[in-house]
Amino acid sequence: MKALSRPIFPLVSVSFVACFALIAGCSTSAVGDPCIPEQIPAGGFDPSQTLLETGSVQCATRVCIVDKLAGDPTDICGMPNASETCVQESEVEEKVFCSCRCNAPAGSKVPTCGCPAGFVCEEILQTGGDGLRGDYCVREPSGS
């Protein structure tokens, strides 16, 4: 009896396409995607400050930013057990998000990104190492 020979290329290409489809199906976080910082100060954040959390596994950019939020982004008003100092969900969506460094000090070898529509490149850190210091994408102020 003669063995059937089939080309292996179609099987390999179908397997490759299936693997790619699975990977593509998983969304990756980009600038503006939601995140929650791992370290939240007791009483929440200070509205006069901006916090950068680098190494955030929630963001493809690895940067989670809290931009001038007053309170704790996990204490949402209207949810069970919300405190008197809770934060509106819309405020968390606007002020806590994945970001990236869009400008770096001269001579820094750390890559930068471009800010998408609805974001501006703003100086956040003036001190610290070249790996962190620089400008980051933040939401454009309302009404701009």
Render pLDDT for 22-39 as a digit per residue (tens, 0 to 9).
333 344 459 999 999 999
Residue 82 in domain = yes
Beta carbons of 98 and 27 less than 8 angstroms apart: no
Beta carbons of 72 and 45 less than 8 angstroms apart: yes
How far is Cα 95 from Cα 139, in angstroms, rounded to an integer? 8
Residue 9 in domain = no
pLDDT value for 111: 85
Our count of domains for the chain comes to 1
Residue 20 in domain = no
Return the half-sphere exposure (C-beta side, CA atoms, 13 A cut-off) of residue 114.
Answer: 2
pLDDT value for 141: 81
Res. 18: pLDDT tops 80: no
Computed from CA positions of residues 100, 106, 111, 113, in that sequence, does the dihedral angle turn out positive or negative?
positive
Nearest alpha carbon to residue 136 among 98, 99, 93: 99
Side chain identity, residue 8:
I
Cβ burial of 69 (10 Å; 0-12, 13-18, 19+) is buried
Residue 35 in domain = yes
pLDDT value for 133: 81
Residue 34 in domain = yes
Domain range spanning residue 41? 27-139
Residue 17 in domain = no
